[in-house]
Structure 1
Amino acid sequence: MVTDTSAPKLGLFTKLFYGFGSVGYGVKDVAFRSFLLLYYNQVIGVRADLVSFAILVALCVDAISDPVVGQWSDTLRTKWGRRHPFMFLSAIPASASLLLLFFPPSGMSEMGMFWYILVVGCCVRTFITFFEIPSSALAPELTSDYDERTSIASYRYFFAYLGGVGMAFLTLLVFLAPTEEYPVGQLNPNGYETFAIVGAAIMFAAILISSLGTIHRIKYFKMPPAREKIGALKTLVQMKSTFGHKGFLAILCFGVLKYTAVGMTSALNIYFGTYLWGLNSAQLAILTIDSLVGAFLALFVAPIASRRFGKRNAALGLAVIAVIFGSTPYLLRLSGNFFENGDPLLVPAIFLFSGIFQMCGVSSAVLTHAMVGDVVEESQLATGRRSEGLFYAANTLMQKSTSGLGVFAAGMLVSFVGIVPGMDPASIDPAIPRALALAYVPALIVLYIGGAGFLFGYRIDRASHEASLAELEKRQRAAAYNADRVPDPAE
């Protein structure tokens, strides 16, 4: 499906509705990245390596379900378009499974808990896939403009962070506030249950509002020709051909490594805040806002950087800047040159460094998201197929590596340095969180910088993108001419 060139330009409200759907994904993301490991490890009492391994296995299930849903949405033909039926139907099962994830049955063994996390976690991630991938795949259909795609991608990322950061802030400040029974609020089980109830309701509302708010654009989409009915083997061959695009593979490699670093950071932030920086839940809540500030600034930074430097160069440079600022507070603490715990300037200093880290990291992610959209047309020239769903399935899988590979890496680091269930922040050996920081910083640098290097394999710029659009338009006109031409009987 491509956009009708006579369609009205995307208005602000359409961009807002399109982006708002990612609030639900943000809620899911913060549940897996920030709270799930700590909840099951420190509150329920399951070993960190088991929890993180269950989340990693769920990512492997995603590796199968995501492209299946993407391919399915590419080939669906209904009066509601290719994407919206999936989006509407995902609302109830996605929100319900998130609710169940934080209400495990009592009395289960540690291995029983492992299987519960694995099964219910797979349900959450699969059902949100039925919304996120078709919704993401709307982007190239909504607009073919090089810069407009960056704009709508920035809205999508902003609302994803609004959902995740907003829930994290509310949870740490209100749901996990210290009580007489739980002076360390992060260890209060009731807070996590409240998080699940509120988060599930927000997820349900976000999916329905976004789906209803974008359905009016369906009439401007031109349905691509129906694909021939083929068997499973040929479908797999076509999927392999689609994913073989060199530019897309460059984005995929960068995304997997970078999002693994993002997931590791998100899962460890609450550990560092609790054990390294000695912060309470209210201070941790304040620090969650840095992500939202960064995502808001990315609304402006990403489009400006795209216009000035091109998407690839801007994404690469911003990733390098991000890792510099992200690692600096830990390097300063390890070298003895940072504010001590309890210093009134500690939280503002961490907020500043992390805010710049988030701004550059989110801007880089926005640009790579928009780059995926530009791959669609170049791939169509080579294969004759528009495969937005497939490409954005892989893009979503990159993002999910934050809560799969990233949380798995975080769980391994937590176990490696010796943080065990029920450890009291007041009595922990200071060498343990310092060891965690010492292991974290090199991992962050290697993942971010190593991933950025793959972007050199992406060669699409503004000129080549516009050339692809022109060639597709030429082919479309030729096909329309040949279809309308009446054969001469004398021929």
Structure 2
Amino acid sequence: MDARTDEPPRAKAAPPPRLNFRTKFLYGFGSIAYGVLTQILTLLLFFYNQVVGLSAQAVSAALAISLVIDAVWDPVIGHVSDNLRSPWGRRHPFMYASAIPIAASVVFLMHPPSAFDAAQKFLWLLVFVVVARLLISLYEMPSSALAPELAPDYHDRTVVLSYRWVLGVSGTALAASLGNFWFFRPTAAYPQGQLNPAAWGPMAWASAVIALVSIVVSAAGTHHYIRRLHRPPARKVSLAHSLRDIAATLKNRNLGVALTAWLIAGLSFGLYGGLALYFYTFFWALKASQIGVLALVNLVASLVGAFIATGLSRAFGKKHACIAMFFGCVVAIQAPILLRLLGVFPGNGSALLMPILIVAHLLSGSLTNGGFILSSSMVADITEDAQVKTGRRAEGLLMATNTFITKATTGVSALLPGLLLAYVGFPAHARPGLIDMGIIRHMAWVYLPVTSGLSFLSIAVWFFYRIDKAAHDRHLATVAEAQAASEIAAEAEPDAVAAARLAG
């Protein structure tokens, strides 16, 4: 008791600890795996349509099904990891367990037996893309949920997520560079090496090994932090009680804003990701090495974007900086395509084409990466907002619900590239220079307004997000005070029990 007031001592919130460079780097290192695997998954439509020979509609259907299944799986993993009590904490058991199965699934996914007919190849694709996505989420959901705990500070959290994002983009760039500069080297039979069937298997093996190493290094590198992380209370919870907990956590205004924004953006992501290699190969007529250069430009852009994002966030707050960067990135991404369609852009083969595309990719990539870093940090900030209102930490569920919406809508929109290609009459096994340019222009004119309109609508939704630095600091103080009060009560409980026994 306080001698002056006879009131219990008020718990004081300790300042959140800052992470050193080593921890930030090793935590982010695990995102190399996600970047590599994302690159592989992004290429599946092109690989199974243009190399294996399945119809674009069939491939898109398989990808859509896998994304919807994976979307439902994410919140399950997030919620289970939030409540896991183990000697290795809540997140690390999942991270370690996923490493080898992920690598194996990628290898199988990119090796459909050549003797199979079209129906069998479709089933092979469907089974292994579902398995691969579920295993990737088994790692990615617990890993991403570590960020809010490792970095509770408003600005430090953005820095940590910058490491994670930049290293994830590095993984994507590494996989793209290995493909475009090494495995997709041109041959006499295949001047554009990305059309060579023999190149894809070795690339899958290399990607699998990189992902495996990345996951194990990151999990081991953050293992010593387990003792400092939140440990959920031991309790037996019924299914009905778990569902009520989930509903209470998800009933959050700011989460609703984030989910709505990502739901709309997911539709645009599906079209953009599915058709990117088509635009590179047929619209711009780029060689694999040139596509590889643009992938490396995106790596540089991720570093620039991370630097700009942290600076703008400190100056204007996360929300306004995020909105500005996303708006700029849409303009920068779409401008070259629109200018080409209007006839005021250098033609394919022009000496100016690659320099202009490099500058456009550097600008759009910097803004895109910065926007994603800030939006991820904004979603992470909902952790304490929800904890103040519910009394529970559920960062795994919150992060997974965000990806659930993105994957579910991207899963539905994964049908769109195949439908668009079918609508414009784009053939399988097409060869650059031998396809009607009218078909390619038609594809671009349909793609451009749809993706731009969806992107701008998604950006507008972020205006309704309400957590700024002042609100986040209040949430941190409330959470820390509640935690300290709980510890004081726990320490006092044995004394109270002993006193009751003596009194009895």
Q: Please give the range of the TM-score, normalised by the shorter of the 2 chains.
A: over 0.9
**Cα deviation, residue 460, structure 1:** 0.5
CA–CA separation in structure 2 for the residues paired with 1:128 and 1:402: 18
**Contact 1:186–1:281 under 8 Å retained in 2:** yes
Aligned counterpart for 1:442 among listed residues 420, 441, 449: 449
Alignment of 1:320-359 (within 5 A): 320-359=327-366
CA–CA separation in structure 2 for the residues paired with 1:121 and 1:314: 36
Provide the secondary structure at the position in 2 that maps to 1:137: helix
Segment drifting more, 213-222 vs 254-263: 254-263
**Cα deviation, residue 484, structure 1:** 3.6
**Contact 2:71–2:403 under 8 Å retained in 1:** no
**Cα deviation, residue 233, structure 1:** 3.0
Amino acid corresponding to residue 174 of structure 1 in structure 2: W
Aligned counterpart for 2:436 among listed residues 421, 429, 434: 429
**Given the alignment of the two structures, is residue 284 of structure 1 paired with residue 291 of structure 2, yes or no?**
yes
Partner of 1:15: 24
Alignment of 1:283-432 (within 5 A): 283-397=290-404, 400=407, 404-405=411-412, 407-432=414-439
**Cα deviation, residue 399, structure 1:** 5.7
Partner of 1:100: 108
Provide the secondary structure at the position in 2 that maps to 1:138: helix
Question: Could you say which structure has the larger radius of gyration?
Answer: 2
The C-alpha deviation readout for 1:114-135, integer Å capped at 9, x for no partner, is 2211110011111111111111
Segment drifting more, 150-159 vs 466-475: 466-475
**Given the alignment of the two structures, is residue 132 of structure 1 paired with residue 111 of structure 2, yes or no?**
no
**Given the alignment of the two structures, is residue 174 of structure 1 paired with residue 182 of structure 2, yes or no?**
yes
* TM-score of the pair, normalised by structure 2: 0.92
**Cα deviation, residue 396, structure 1:** 3.5
Mind listing any 5+ residue stretches in structure 2 that lack a counterpart? 1-12
The C-alpha deviation readout for 1:72-95, integer Å capped at 9, x for no partner, is 111111121111111001001111
Segment drifting more, 119-128 vs 235-244: 235-244
**Cα deviation, residue 6, structure 1:** 8.0
* TM-score of the pair, normalised by structure 1: 0.94
Provide the secondary structure at the position in 2 that maps to 1:24: helix
CA–CA separation in structure 1 for the residues paired with 2:133 and 2:92: 18
Distance 1:348 1:403, change over 3 A: farther
**Contact 1:55–1:403 under 8 Å retained in 2:** no
**Cα deviation, residue 298, structure 1:** 1.8
Distance 1:156 1:395, change over 3 A: farther
**Given the alignment of the two structures, is residue 30 of structure 1 paired with residue 44 of structure 2, yes or no?**
no
**Cα deviation, residue 260, structure 1:** 4.0
**Cα deviation, residue 65, structure 1:** 1.1
Distance 1:348 1:262, change over 3 A: farther
**Contact 2:265–2:406 under 8 Å retained in 1:** no
Alignment of 1:100-179 (within 5 A): 100-179=108-187
**Cα deviation, residue 420, structure 1:** 1.4
Distance 1:265 1:155, change over 3 A: same
CA–CA separation in structure 2 for the residues paired with 1:83 and 1:64: 19
Distance 1:126 1:39, change over 3 A: same
CA–CA separation in structure 1 for the residues paired with 2:461 and 2:250: 16
Partner of 2:196: 188
Mind listing any 5+ residue stretches in structure 1 that lack a counterpart? none
**Contact 1:311–1:371 under 8 Å retained in 2:** yes
Aligned counterpart for 2:465 among listed residues 432, 439, 458: 458
**Cα deviation, residue 257, structure 1:** 2.8
The C-alpha deviation readout for 1:467-488, integer Å capped at 9, x for no partner, is 1111122222333333344547
CA–CA separation in structure 1 for the residues paired with 2:409 and 2:433: 30
**Cα deviation, residue 294, structure 1:** 1.8
Segment drifting more, 170-179 vs 263-272: 263-272
**Contact 1:70–1:390 under 8 Å retained in 2:** yes
Segment drifting more, 325-334 vs 389-398: 389-398
Aligned counterpart for 1:72 among listed residues 80, 85, 92: 80
Distance 1:254 1:403, change over 3 A: closer
Partner of 2:244: 237
**Contact 1:37–1:407 under 8 Å retained in 2:** no
**Cα deviation, residue 262, structure 1:** 3.5
**Cα deviation, residue 348, structure 1:** 1.4
**Contact 2:72–2:404 under 8 Å retained in 1:** no
Aligned counterpart for 1:88 among listed residues 96, 101, 124: 96
Partner of 1:210: 218
**Contact 2:385–2:475 under 8 Å retained in 1:** yes
Distance 1:6 1:242, change over 3 A: closer
Provide the secondary structure at the position in 1 that maps to 2:222: helix
**Contact 1:264–1:402 under 8 Å retained in 2:** no
**Cα deviation, residue 8, structure 1:** 5.7
Partner of 2:7: none
Provide the secondary structure at the position in 2 that maps to 1:90: helix
**Given the alignment of the two structures, is residue 480 of structure 1 paired with residue 487 of structure 2, yes or no?**
yes
Amino acid corresponding to residue 20 of structure 1 in structure 2: F
Provide the secondary structure at the position in 2 that maps to 1:339: coil
Question: RMSD of the alignment, in Å?
Answer: 2.0
CA–CA separation in structure 2 for the residues paired with 1:455 and 1:284: 32
CA–CA separation in structure 1 for the residues paired with 2:164 and 2:15: 25
Distance 1:265 1:293, change over 3 A: farther
Provide the secondary structure at the position in 2 that maps to 1:367: helix
Distance 1:79 1:205, change over 3 A: same
**Contact 1:260–1:401 under 8 Å retained in 2:** no
Distance 1:217 1:5, change over 3 A: farther
Distance 1:65 1:237, change over 3 A: same
The C-alpha deviation readout for 1:210-230, integer Å capped at 9, x for no partner, is 00111111222242423x322
CA–CA separation in structure 2 for the residues paired with 1:112 and 1:481: 63
**Cα deviation, residue 403, structure 1:** 6.4
**Cα deviation, residue 195, structure 1:** 1.1
The C-alpha deviation readout for 1:436-464, integer Å capped at 9, x for no partner, is 11111112212211111221221000001
CA–CA separation in structure 1 for the residues paired with 2:266 and 2:295: 18
**Cα deviation, residue 245, structure 1:** 1.1
Task: Name the count of aligned residue pairs.
Answer: 486
